[in-house]
Amino acid sequence: MSEPLIIGIDEVGRGCIAGPVIAAAVVLNHPVAGVRDSKKLSAHKRGILVPQIQLASSHYAVGEASIEEIDNINILQATFLAMRRAVEALNLDPQQAILKVDGNIIPPWCLDQGWTAHALIGGDDLEPAIAAASILAKEHRDAFMTSQDAVWPGYGFGKHKGYGTAAHMKALATLGVTPLHRRSFAPVAKYL
């Protein structure tokens, strides 16, 4: 019997007040030099690594949970949903692989669907496939948020990517809430 595939899973955007939450799932065939937690890499370095990760992976996919889903089911459940969508897009049998999820919680759907899963605190520094997933998810989400800069000028989405920076909070107070903002989040809700 062949060794099970390792599927690394990570998300980005949980702590934002605007934009979707994005997860990626990656099966690395071989290590990629320089791959580590996306938060510890410059945008330039992440951009260089994305095609290298894609070439080194037998399978990779990105999943998303929308702003509406975040507001309807809460950010934790939306994160699990984005992760599930990324894994389902890989189209792999649960008997073929082991899921390694960054964090301290195994999403409930893993067990419901018959996956063997492990939660790894600091997994994006411990498991190369999780680090690769963190990079793909971050680059995907950052590209989307940057594209929204022109749609919603004045908010600075291309700079802060939806995080609640001082400049973002000032823009929110001055310009109001956009459809990109998470209405269930307290910093946004006070401007509704």
Give the pLDDT mean for 53-60: 98
Which carries the bigger pLDDT value, residue 37 or residue 64? Answer: 64
User: Does residue 175 surpass a pLDDT of 70?
Assistant: yes
User: Does residue 1 surpass a pLDDT of 70?
Assistant: no
**Cα–Cα dist 15/11, whole Å:** 11
Exposure letters 119-153 (e unless 16+ CB within 10 A, then b): bbeebbeebbbbbbbbbbbbbbbbebbeebeeebe
pLDDT tens digits, 109-138 = 999 999 999 999 999 999 999 999 999 999
Beta bridge partners of 101: 9, 119
Query: For all residues of the chain together, what is the average pLDDT?
Result: 96
pLDDT tens digits, 79-114 = 999 999 999 999 999 999 999 999 999 999 999 999
Residue 3 pLDDT level (bands cut at 50, 70, 90): confident
Pairing of β 57-65 and β 97-102: unpaired
**Cα–Cα dist 93/160, whole Å:** 38
Enter the pTM of the model.
0.96
